[in-house]
Structure 1
Amino acid sequence: MTLSRRQILAGGTAGVGLTVAGTLPSLAEPAVAAARPDRPRPATGRPFPPLQDDPDGILALPAGFSYKIVTREGVSDLSGGQGKTPAYHDGTGVVGARRDRLTVIQNHELTPYLSAHGVPHIAGTVYDPGAGNAGGCTVITTDRSGNRVAEWVGIAGTVRNCAGGVTPWGTWLTCEETFINAGTTWTAGGQSGTYEKDHGYVFEVTPAESRLQQPQPIKAFGRFEHEALAVEPNLRHVYLSEDAGGPNGLFYRWTAAQGTHLRAGLAASLGDNAGKLEAMQIRLDDASIVPDVAYITSAQLGRPFKVTWIEVPERDARSTPTRKQFADGTVTRGKKFEGVWSTGRGAYIVNSFAFGAADLPADAAKHNGMVWFYDYDDETITLVTYFPHNPAAESEGTFPKYADLTFDGPDNVTVTPWGTLVLAEDGVRASHVLSSVPGGPTYAVARNQLANGISNGAPTYSEFTGPTFSPDGRVLFVNIQVPGITLGITGPWEKYLG
């Protein structure tokens, strides 16, 4: 998540946004259904009750649901005297569950001294000592109800840790959404420094204590403005999104060499040029390449498009950023490739929005969000949810009466234990956590009530990030990014999602 839309948009009036979805067959095998074949696949979902204002002014929820604060920046104590919980909570994943414990790993999307609460440089966790008080990850343990037990630093000395993805072997792959060369200087918060190492990589973070971490980049996965990723269950493919502009970013696939299967310790086991990194090409029936995802609209909801892949010439981008190594028309670009989450059969992929002159080709359709499903076996991609463009969604405003109907800017995504989706909204006006049925309706699950600024005379509300369920479906963890708060939401999830 580069700059929030609230930081890059200004002026104008606001109106009501709509969500369009079509009818299509089930696209992914829900995790619960895979484990229990007697469970039906998701159909249309069930509407959540109206959101009720929180007397504490933090989170509006439907009747029957409640939340607890798991961590809060600058307030919660890290274990072992490491300091306080860092700021700018972002991508988050539950990587382990025991009888009485859950293990959650969380990104902190920070540049040096963006906040007074950066990720502390703890021995065993630091990638780049020159990165200053910047980003990284914390490891959080809770009980099975989401009550925090402990929290410590998993990696530090990285920059803009945005999203990432859980691995089948129980670790977290954290993505740097940046592209910085060693030797670059920085100045912020009255401090200055020089980066000692290149940035723009993926790192593996384990549930282990700080001193046992291995803060090494996985260079085989390329260097670019990473957003999120998903590991295919065959342990040979990794799918990676890029949130970048000028030109728009790409969606990538990394493939292991024949006979190689991924396992814990990726940075040590994979050489810098191991496997093959490729960029996506969406093909029309005549085999021509769709130059930008924005050419596909709600008219194509539910229609699979064939995908092919073209190899990235120079994945470490020493001379040219990876997305600029391809001429327009030879790859399929997209404004703000964001969340990615794997299922047993494929991966869901999000594009947040595209409506500005620099966001998309002049003859492509503006939009306020797209959700795709990529089928691993068929190598096809299908648009499953579409938020059509509304000019009002380009500017701040408040709509108390219609706040829970005006969705735009989906960002992080997770697949629920019942096979439906939960999206974190990073749009304008109110910010929501959304329940989305692929090919079906979208409902508000929660609304951020914690105003963190004023724009055009109206309150502004920070984006939600990092939705992730406990494996048993009991707790939905989700973050408010500013101020950084992790929330554990409980309630009758299966009644509405199952």
Structure 2
Amino acid sequence: MSVTRRQILARGGTVGAGIAFAGSVEQLFAGSPAAAAVGGSAGYGPLVPDPAGILDLPRGFRYKILSREGEPLRSGEGPVPGNADGMAAFPGGPGRVRLVRNHENRPDAEHRVPAVEGLTYDPEGKGGCTALEVSADGRVRGERVAIAGTAVNCAGGPTPWNTWLTCEETEDKAGTNGYTEDHGFIFEVDPARPERSGAVPLTAMGRFQHEAVAIDPRDGVVYETEDAFDKPFGLFYRFLPERPRGGFGSLRAGGRLEALRVPGVADLSAVREPGTRFERVQWVPVPDPLARQTPIRFQDFGSGGITHGQKLEGCYWGGDRVYFVCSFARESEGSQADHFGQVWSYEPRSRRLTLVIVFGPGTDTGKPGESPDNIALAPQGGLMVCEDGDGAQHVFGVTRDRKVYPMARNRQNTGTQEKPSWGEFAGVTFSPNGRTMFVNVYDPGTTFAVTGPWHR
């Protein structure tokens, strides 16, 4: 068993809040409306143990369970699917919020996304999305299948026209694992009218192990991360649509898929110094976006090669640039250097790529919890980060002045008393008015709404 990041930090006595960061943390809050207010004492105080043993929160905050795996969907279409992952919140009329929730179901999933006529891509695919409508008083007024028959729906991203792009994190083709269709695509989901979605794969956006997407609201260019654990590692892509910012369905018109090339850098893990900049980086056309014979990351990109990165995951737009995350890199698995995470920014107008933050080893830096995953900009200022690692699982907050504080802890033990286990958090997002934080626990699949004195 490999030594975890938590074990390494524990030896140095640095586990927990107050961890120092290397790099320009302030950059990460670009576009956050309340970013300037962040600072001073961090957080909302210690977590208060939940008598029900479900979710610990700071004093004054409360949670409501909106949905639980295995319970009936309010639409009557079947049980609530499991493996709740990426999620986004959209306006749903006066006081209402529409949530779209991914289900990262593989072929062995116990609770699949029910196959619904007109919304199912592959009857043998068990993943997909469900849509919830939450009223101003926090009650679930609707819950239904939004897309079905997809596979391993991990993350994605919202569009400027209030739809959700759900991403398949798999490259399985028809005939593999019982599938009847090729997988590894992005699908667009309309939270207001799921029947419009039609389970149509956006094939021009590439077939690979998708993780997350972010859209430049100025020109409609879509940025995509590829979460490939094994060599050759994933790529960072941009998709130039034929109909930029065209609204729902416009991405079906096609476009051009390109991959990032940083001249002289074959592996992003080799870059170690925060603030390192690469000017005028290149974008190279993908030879075969559908990966008919060869996965994209294996394809021939010419004499200049292409730039890879292990575990490319989170992706979001802030200010005038896109941010993307390398969750970790390990030399033992083929990376050029070890790190516990990198955050990169790319500025489209100048074609400048910057390493914003590096998290150890070899430095005196850390990051909140173990293996931070999903990230959301909090309307009150700062970031909310979902933990995905060993041991206890938290949602952590991070302030501009590098302070880390616990926001929630999952208390649902899926193991035993002797060997407890807690499911990761995922899909953290905020209501349009900033008054409610929605977040999922992956296992058992549970969706929470958290309210309280966010202004504090």
The TM-score with structure 2 as length reference comes to 0.88
> Aligned residue for 2:278?
305
Paired position in structure 1 for 2:347: 375
**Which residue pairs with 2:131 in the alignment?**
139
* Residue pairs, 1:4-83, within 5 angstroms: 14-15=7-8, 16=10, 19-22=19-22, 24=24, 26-27=26-27, 31=31, 33=33, 41=36, 44=39, 46-48=41-43, 49-75=45-71, 77-83=72-78
Distance 1:13 1:207 in 2: 38
SS in 1 for 2:118: coil
* Residue 469 of structure 1 pairs with residue 443 of structure 2: no
Q: Of 424, 434, 437, which residue of structure 1 is paired with 2:386?
A: 424
Match of 1:92 in 2: 87
Q: Which residue of 2 aligns with 1:125?
A: 119
Partner of 1:173: 165
Q: CA deviation at 1:416?
A: 1.9
Task: Report the alpha carbon displacement of residue 439 of structure 1 after superposing the two structures with TM.
Answer: 7.1
For the 8 Å contact 2:329–2:340, the answer to whether it is kept is yes
- Contact conserved, 2:134 with 2:141, CA < 8 A, in 1? yes
Larger deviation, residues 207-216 vs 239-248:
207-216
Q: Please state if 1:332 is matched with 2:317.
A: no
Residue 251 of structure 1 is aligned with which of 208, 228, 236? 236
**Equivalent position to 2:220, from 210, 213, 236:** 236
Q: Per-residue CA shift, 1:36-84, capped at 9, x if unaligned? A: xxx6636546411222222222222222222111111012x32331122
Partner residue of 2:414?
A: 452
Code of the residue aligned with 1:348 in structure 2: it is: Y
Q: Which moved more, 1:347-356 or 1:199-208?
A: 347-356
Q: 2:442 corresponds to which residue?
A: 481
Q: What's the CA shift for 1:113?
A: 3.8
Q: Which amino acid aligns with 2:339?
A: H
Amino acid at match of 1:21: F
What is the correspondence of 1:145-294 to structure 2 with a 5 Å cutoff? 145-184=137-176, 186=177, 194-244=178-228, 245-257=230-242, 260-266=244-250, 269-270=252-253, 274-282=254-262, 288-294=263-269
From 396, 401, 404, give the equivalent of 1:434.
396
Q: Distance in 1 between matches of 2:109 and 2:25?
A: 45
Gaps of 5+ in 1: 1-7, 34-38, 187-193, 283-287, 391-403
Cα 1:209–1:223 change in 2 (3 A) is: same
Q: CA deviation at 1:488?
A: 1.1
- The alpha carbon displacement at 1:101 in A equals 0.7
CA 1:408–1:308 in structure 2 vs 1: closer, same or farther (change >3 Å)? Answer: farther
CA contact (8 A) 1:350 1:410 kept: no
Cα contact 1:52–1:63 (8 A) shared by 2: yes
- The 8 Å contact of residues 469 and 475 in structure 1, kept in 2 or not, is answered as yes
1:368-418 CA-partner distances (Å, limit 9, x unpaired):
22333333333333344443249xxxxxxxxxxxxx996221111122224
Residue in structure 2 matched with residue 350 of structure 1 by the alignment: 325
Moved more, 467-476 or 42-51: 42-51
Find the residue that maps to 2:234 and give its secondary structure. Answer: coil
* Change over 3 Å in CA distance of 1:433–1:380 after alignment to 2: farther
The 10-residue stretch of structure 1 (56-65 or 380-389) with the greater mean CA deviation from structure 2: 380-389
* Whole-angstrom distance in 2 between the partners of 1:467 and 1:494: 18
TM-score (norm 1): 0.81
CA contact (8 A) 1:164 1:227 kept: yes
Asked if 1 retains the 8 angstrom alpha-carbon contact of 2:25 and 2:400, the reply is no
- For 1:473, the aligned partner's letter is G
Which secondary structure state, in structure 1, belongs to the residue aligned with residue 292 of structure 2? coil
C-alpha deviations, 1:447-468, integer Å up to 9, x for none?
Answer: 222222269x642222111011
Determine if contact 2:6/2:370 at 8 Å carries over to the other structure: no
- Identify the range of structure 1 (421-430 vs 159-168) with the bigger mean alpha-carbon deviation: 421-430
How has the CA–CA distance of structure 1 residues 435 and 304 changed in structure 2, closer, same or farther, with 3 Å as cutoff?
A: farther
The answer to whether structure 1 residue 443 and structure 2 residue 405 are counterparts is yes
Residue of structure 1 equivalent to 2:359: 387
CA separation in 2, counterparts of 1:373 and 1:438?
17
Q: Tell whether the 8 Å contact from 2:70 to 2:80 is kept in structure 1 after alignment.
A: yes
- Alignment CA distance shift 1:249-1:12 (3 Å): closer
Residues 1:240 and 1:319: Cα distance change in structure 2 (over 3 Å): same
Q: Which moved more, 1:323-332 or 1:214-223?
A: 323-332
Question: How high is the sequence identity, in percent, across the aligned residues?
Answer: 39
Contact 1:123 1:211 in 2 (8 A): no
Q: Deviations over 1:60-116 (max 9, x none)?
A: 2222222111111012x323311221100000001224212100100000023421x
Kept in 1, the 8 Å contact 2:155–2:212? The answer is yes
Equivalent residue for 1:190?
none
Unpaired segments ≥5 residues, structure 2: none
Query: Does the C-alpha gap of structure 1 residues 471 and 9 become closer, same or farther in structure 2, counting only changes over 3 Å?
Result: farther
Greater Cα offset, 427-436 or 325-334:
325-334
1:255 Cα deviation from its structure 2 partner: 1.4
SS in structure 2 opposite 1:294?
Answer: helix
* Alignment partners' CA distance in 1, 2:314 and 2:396: 14
Structure 1 residues 62 and 296: CA distance shift in structure 2, 3 A: farther
Shift of 1:145: 5.0
Count of residues in Structure 1 that have an aligned counterpart in Structure 2: 443
Residue 401 (structure 1) aligns with: none
After superposition, the Cα gap between the structure-2 partners of 1:108 and 1:147, relative to the gap in structure 1 and judged at 3 Å, is same
Residues 270-314 of structure 1, C-alpha deviations (whole Å, 9 max, x = no match): 1xxx322111234xxxxx4322222233xx334443343222111
1:130 is displaced (CA, Å) by: 3.2
Over residues 296-354 of structure 1, what are the superposed CA-to-partner deviations in whole Å (9 max), with x where a residue is unaligned?
Answer: 33xx3344433432221111101110111157983222221112122342223222222
